[in-house]
Each structure stands twice: as C-alpha cells, then as structure tokens.
Amino acid sequence: MTPALLELLRRVDTPTVCNAIEVAQGKRGFDAFTRGTMLCSAPEEPALVGYASTAKIAAVAPSTEPPEVIKARRMDYYRAMAEAPKPSVAVIEDTDFPHCIGAYWGEINTTVHKGFGLSGALTNGVMRDLGDLPSGFPVIAGSIGPSHGFVHVQEIGTPVSIFGLMIAPGDLIHADRHGALVVPTDVIPQLEAAITGLLATERLVLDPARAPDFDFARFEEAWAAFEKART
C-alpha cells in the first residue's frame, strides 16, 4: 500500500471501496464485508484504514485461568499491539457475541492504543465513554454499554470473525459507519485507479442531478453516459 493509496482510502467511505474492488476485479460479487448494523464512535472522522492486529476477548464471566496467566497474556497483547506493523487496526472479536457486555473500548484503552500508533479499532463488542474517546482513533463497534464486565484477553494474533466477516492478522481493513471490509491483496495495485475512475463515473450522474435544470431528459442523457462509462 503506497502513501498515496493510504491517503485516498482515508478520504473515501467504505461503500466506495466496496464498489471500487468490484471495478478492479471486473465483476460483481465481492463479499468480504460485515453484515448488519455497526456503530461508529466518530462518524465525522476519516475512514479507518490499516492492517489487522487481531485478538479475542470475553467479559460475561470471569476467566477460570490463573491470574498470573491472564496478566501475562494481557501484557503480551499490549506488546503485540505496540509492535504491530503500521498503519494498523486493532480487530477484536468478543466471543460473548451476540450477548456482549464488556466495554473493552473506553477512554483509557483507546488512548493507550492511539499512543501505540494504531489507527483505530474494529470489534463486534462494546464501546463506552463516548465523548471522552481521543480524536483520530475511531471505534467501529457492535454496541454501546456502561460496564467492562469481567473483560479479559483469550487469544492474540488469531483469525477473528466480526459481524460475519472473517479477518486474518495482516489483512488490510477499511471501515467506517457503514461497517468494514477486507481489501483483497490482489486488487491493491489497481485500487487507486479503480477508486478515482469510479468517482469520475459517478459524477456523470451526480453533477447533472444536482443542477437546477435537472429533469427526466437530462437524466436519460446522464444515465446513458454513465452506463457507457461502466462498460
């Protein structure tokens, strides 16, 4: 991923990237995206882009492992996040889903992860402390809640599932208030051109539709140009 592509990905929304991947692939049917409605802590901020640094947590019940094991794994988790290749996204599966109660992502944890240089967090679990989370670290979560429960780390660096999307460590993630997707590795070299071309094609319809003299005749003309550009 080049710096130019990274900057472009941060400027566009996830539906645009979803469409652009199909443009790059030359067909419809791309399906590596989340299902269902997710929540975004900062919908006005740029999209969340980075390589997945994964873990699994639980919070409904206390861990049955010895306290020293839990503490050691917690430090291993933070070390892994701090050392993750940047740009990186913390992708955390709450194994209590769909009955998650533990707000892993609050003011302290988001601030720590931002300090480590991560770009944000993606989780099927819970976030809290809305209004106190640091800027520049969006959280895309499954729900909002007040408590941390008995939250503890179960696994580090393993594949995870977030709202039906399977994510492996190192996958390139794009996420915003619409949800998240995994960018296929083979389309990355073509993705910048696909996005810029897609945006130009969409303007063939959007610009006339926003003009004061727009009517059905203008629509027919614009749509014909739009369809021609897509073939």
Residue among 160, 137, 190, 176 nearest 56 (CA): 160
Torsion of CA 64, 80, 136, 11, to 10 degrees: -120
Region 127-151 average pLDDT:
97
The CATH number of 31-183, from 2.60.40.10, 3.40.50.300, 3.50.30.40, 3.40.50.720, is: 3.50.30.40
pLDDT at 1: 87
pLDDT at 230: 79
pLDDT at 217: 96
**Contact criterion met (CB below 8 Å) for 160 and 91:** yes
pLDDT at 211: 97
Report pLDDT digits (tens) over 72-123: 999 999 999 999 999 999 999 999 999 999 999 999 999 999 999 999 999 9
Residue intervals in the chain for CATH 3.50.30.40: 31-183
In the structure, what pLDDT confidence band is assigned to residue 203 with cuts at 50, 70 and 90? very high
Q: Is the peptide bond before 134 cis (omega within 30 degrees of 0)?
A: no
Count of Cβ atoms closer than 10 Å to residue 101 Cβ: 19
Region 194-209 average pLDDT:
96
Q: Which helix (H) or strand (E) holds 18?
A: helix 14-25
Question: What region does 103 belong to: left with phi over 0, alpha with psi -120 to 50, or beta?
Answer: beta
In the structure, what pLDDT confidence band is assigned to residue 231 with cuts at 50, 70 and 90? low
Report pLDDT digits (tens) over 213-229: 999 999 999 999 999 88
Report pLDDT digits (tens) over 141-199: 999 999 999 999 999 999 999 999 999 999 999 999 999 999 999 999 999 999 999 99
In the structure, what pLDDT confidence band is assigned to residue 40 with cuts at 50, 70 and 90? very high
pLDDT at 229: 87
